[in-house]
Structures are given as C-alpha cells and as structure tokens.
C-alpha cells in the first residue's frame, strides 16, 4: 500500500480548526482534528478497496535484441488488465541507469477491464554489454486517488549493447588500396605479391626477372622478332592466410587514454582489421585473453564474422589482474598449426608490464609473423613540449621519461622479430590496417 499527495493534503486540512479556534477552544479543535483524521482514513480505506489489483496485470515486453553503443532504441511494454475493475496505474520500468532512459521512467495510464495499453521508453545505452531490467512496479490508485495498491512484478528484459565500430569510416579507403594491391583497379595496374596469378605478353617497363622462359618457348609467333613472344608472370597478393587477433583484457586494458578505454580501442582495431582481411580473402580468428580466454571466435568467415565478433565483445570488460602471457603460444597453436599473422593488442609502454610479453615473443616470432599494436597517449607529446611553469617542467620530464620507456619496449619487441604499431586511439585502427596491407604487399604474412 502507498499513500498519495492528495491524502497528505486532505489530512493537512484538519489543522484548520486548530488554527481558527486557537487556545480558547483547544478541546473542541482537537476533537475536530481527530474526527477529520478518522474521516480521511476511512475515505482512504474505501478508496483502497475500490482500487484494481496490480497483481491481476499481465506484462508483455517488446524489445530489440541488439543495439550499437550510443544508438537510441525504443522499449515497449504492454499492460493488459485481466481484472474486473478500471486500472488507474503508475508504471515504473526498472531499467538500470546505464541503459540511458530518456526522461522519467514512470508512466500514468488508465486501462479498462480486459483492455491493453502500451508505454514506450527511449533508451540510449552508454555502456557496452547486457543492459537488463528485471521488474516492473505497478501502483494502482482508487477513484479518489488517496491510497494505492502497489506490486512489483517480474518482467525480465535484456538489451545487448554492441561496440559502436566507429572506425568503419576508414574501411572504404583501405579497400581501395587493397584493390590496387590486387591489380583490380579500372586502370588494370598489376599488383605485387607472392602468389602466381597469370601469364601475359611482355610490355616495355616490366621487370625482366618476371620473364617465364618456358612459357616464352611455347608461344611461337613467326611474325614476332626472333620468332617468339616474351611472356611474363604476374603475381597477386597472398590469399587464404590466417590472422589471429589477440586482445589483452588484463588491468592495462582498463586504462583510459584520450577519454577512451584501451579495450574499446582494441575492439575498434579488431573490427576494422577483420573486415579488411575478410575482403582480402584471409581467415580471421579472435581471442580475448588475460589469464584465460574471455572470448573466442574461430572458424567463421564471410558476412557472419563481424556479427560474431561484436556479439562476443559486447560482454567483455577489462579484469584488474595481470596478464599471463605464458599460456598464449598454446592458445595460438590451438587455433592454427599453420604460419599466421598474430596481432597482439596490448599496452607496450612500460618495461615492467611488458616483461611477460617480451618473454614469450620469441616463441611466437619463430613460427609466425607478429604485430604488437598499442595505444599512444597524445597528451604526452603536448606535455613534453611545455615549459611555462615549474609544474609544466616536472610534467614534461615525466612525459619524456614515459616516451623513453615506450621506445625501449618497442626496440625490445623489434629485436624479438615482431613489428610494432603505436598511435593515438583514433589513429590506431587505420594504422594497424595499413601495416597489414604493407605486410601483405611484401608477402610476409
């Protein structure tokens, strides 16, 4: 049961006789006040008895299964009155705050016996993962609106919030570069690679090392000079290569750089690289790792890959634990026994935190091509250039020290035989895609 503001106002009116009569009629005033209070309670009891039961309500929820982070979505909740009285109700849908309910989540409605009404809430989630609601509170008022009957009913709902994939704006330009690399532009420019593509006639400017003398001997042309036509081989970029993307979900992934968690930047980089590699004909496997596999996507290709990736990433958050890199080589071997491009998305800015990674890198580079991609803080360069005040000088010294640590770790990674990519959060996904295209053009996948 709950009381309303009307009942409080009704009780407050009983103070009027006390004020009017004053001290001269104190006894009469108090008797009037008690009588008024009894009347108000009686009216409230009658009003409560005439209120519809909130438990004789059936709830039907209509909610999309998925939405991208930051995109609005409409949640609909249908209320069906299965009782025999008019339902005058205030309904509160108990979404968690991160679901981003627009406005108040309380709705007033009147539902006749056997009728159905719907309420709509606009949600704009601001956190990834599963945003849930478990209960709906229904407060049913009587005809006078004095006392209410209240019940909390179970009406579970789940909205999965996926990574936003803002870096998809870089995909068209990288696909254009991929087509140029593959020799499929309208200008018919032949691409460079390591897999044999076709044989064609030699034209001036071709690399003489590409001449195929056996094919030249088979193409006898009496009209040609010397009785033969020179034939050259053309090559295309490697296809059907394996790419294993490993995202670090340990404590370093929880740090915010440029107001964005490192883990979110890792998701953006993974999605852009996966989309590009899929168009290039390569196979992509994904692993989220700290001390155990937090998410895994393997054996998926084509248009289903991105859908599986965002679905597996949605519920993964950074764990405040140290990463166990010693188990990573075994995880990569479980994914593929072939030579692959292993992309490690982790923090490489401190010798202390990178010590475990540097210890296992030789095991990976002995069998695979490895890229270590890390986020670089853009504010460090700005702070290192300021010398206005004493605080700026100390901050610049700390920034320079941090940059020296980053350079030391990067040098150690390259000495282990791996490639490094470091950029600001918004620049890391396209930079990683560019490095992938460079390795593909050089035949190093």
Q: How confident is the model at residue 384 (pLDDT cuts 50, 70, 90)?
A: confident
* Side-chain-side CA neighbours of residue 25 (13 Å): 11
The residue whose two tokens read 């229904």 is 138
What does the pLDDT read at residue 190?
43
Q: Which helix (H) or strand (E) holds 180?
A: helix 171-181
Per-residue pLDDT of 391-436, as tens digits, reads 888 888 988 888 899 999 999 999 999 999 999 999 999 999 999 9
User: Mean pLDDT score of the chain, rounded to an integer?
Assistant: 87
If you average pLDDT over residues 300-320, what whole number do you get? 92
Q: Which residues of 407-428 are buried (b: 16+ CB within 10 A; e: fewer)?
A: eebbebbeebebbbbbbbbebb
Burial of 204 (0-12, 13-18, 19+ CB in 10 A): exposed
| Structure tokens that stand for 366 in this block | 């002995």
| Residues 371 and 340: beta-carbon distance below 8 Å | no
What does the pLDDT read at residue 216?
78
| pTM listed for this prediction | 0.80
| Residues 28 and 54: beta-carbon distance below 8 Å | no
What does the pLDDT read at residue 371?
97
Phi, psi of 374, deg, nearest 5: -140, 160
Query: Who's near 40: CB < 8 A, 6+ residues apart?
Result: 7, 10, 11, 14, 146
What does the pLDDT read at residue 388?
83
Phi, psi of 233, deg, nearest 5: -90, 145
If you average pLDDT over residues 58-84, what whole number do you get? 93
Q: How confident is the model at residue 181 (pLDDT cuts 50, 70, 90)?
A: confident
The residue whose two tokens read 């950029």 is 423
What does the pLDDT read at residue 195?
55
Dist. CA 219–CA 164, nearest whole Å = 56
Per-residue pLDDT of 240-290, as tens digits, reads 789 999 999 999 999 999 888 999 999 999 999 999 999 988 999 999 999
Residue 23 has pLDDT above 90, yes or no: no
Q: Which residue has the higher pLDDT, 31 or 428?
A: 428
For 46, 358, 359, 414, the CA distances from 325, given in Å and listed in that order, are 70, 9, 8, 18
What does the pLDDT read at residue 155?
93
If you average pLDDT over residues 325-351, what whole number do you get? 93
């Amino acid at each position: 049961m709950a009381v309303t503001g009307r009942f409080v106002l009704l009780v407050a009116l009983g103070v009027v006789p006390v004020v009017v009569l004053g001290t001269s009629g104190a006894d009469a005033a108090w008797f009037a006040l008690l009588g008024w209070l009894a009347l108000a309670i009686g009216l409230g009891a009658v009003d409560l008895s005439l209120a519809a039961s909130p438990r004789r309500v059936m709830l039907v929820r209509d909610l999309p299964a998925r939405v991208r982070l930051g995109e609005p979505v409409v949640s609909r909740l249908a209320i069906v009155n299965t009782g025999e009285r008019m339902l005058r109700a205030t309904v509160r849908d108990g979404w968690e705050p991160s679901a981003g309910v627009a406005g108040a989540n309380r709705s007033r409605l009147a539902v006749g016996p056997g009728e159905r009404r719907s309420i709509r809430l606009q949600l704009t989630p601001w956190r990834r993962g599963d945003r849930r609601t478990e209960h709906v509170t229904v407060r049913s008022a009587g005809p006078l609106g004095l006392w209410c009957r209240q019940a909390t009913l179970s009406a579970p709902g789940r909205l999965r919030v996926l990574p936003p994939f803002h870096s998809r704006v870089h995909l068209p330009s990288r696909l254009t570069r991929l087509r140029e690399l593959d020799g499929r532009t309208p200008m018919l420019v032949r691409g460079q690679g390591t897999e044999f593509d076709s044989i064609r006639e030699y034209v001036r400017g071709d690399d003489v090392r590409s001449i195929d003398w056996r094919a030249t001997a088979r193409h006898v042309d009496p009209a040609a000079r010397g009785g033969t036509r020179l034939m050259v081989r053309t090559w295309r970029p490697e296809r059907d290569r394996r790419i294993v993307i490993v995202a670090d979900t340990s404590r370093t992934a929880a740090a915010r750089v440029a107001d964005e968690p490192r883990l979110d930047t890792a998701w953006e980089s993974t999605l852009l690289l996966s989309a590009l590699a899929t168009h290039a004909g390569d196979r992509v496997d994904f692993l989220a790792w700290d001390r155990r596999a937090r998410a895994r996507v393997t054996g998926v290709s084509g248009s289903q890959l991105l859908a599986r990736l965002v679905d597996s990433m949605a519920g993964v958050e950074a764990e405040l634990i140290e990463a166990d890199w010693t188990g990573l080589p075994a995880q990569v071997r479980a994914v593929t026994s072939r030579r692959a491009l292993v992309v490690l998305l982790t923090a490489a800015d401190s010798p202390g935190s990178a010590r475990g990674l540097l210890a296992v890198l030789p095991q990976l580079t002995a069998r695979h091509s490895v890229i270590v991609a890390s986020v670089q803080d853009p504010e460090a360069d700005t702070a290192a250039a300021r010398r206005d005040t004493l605080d700026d000088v100390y901050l610049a010294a700390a920034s320079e020290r941090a940059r020296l640590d980053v350079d030391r770790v990067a040098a150690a990674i390259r000495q282990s035989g791996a490639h490094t990519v470091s950029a600001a959060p918004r620049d890391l996904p396209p930079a990683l895609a560019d490095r992938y295209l460079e390795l593909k053009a050089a035949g190093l996948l």
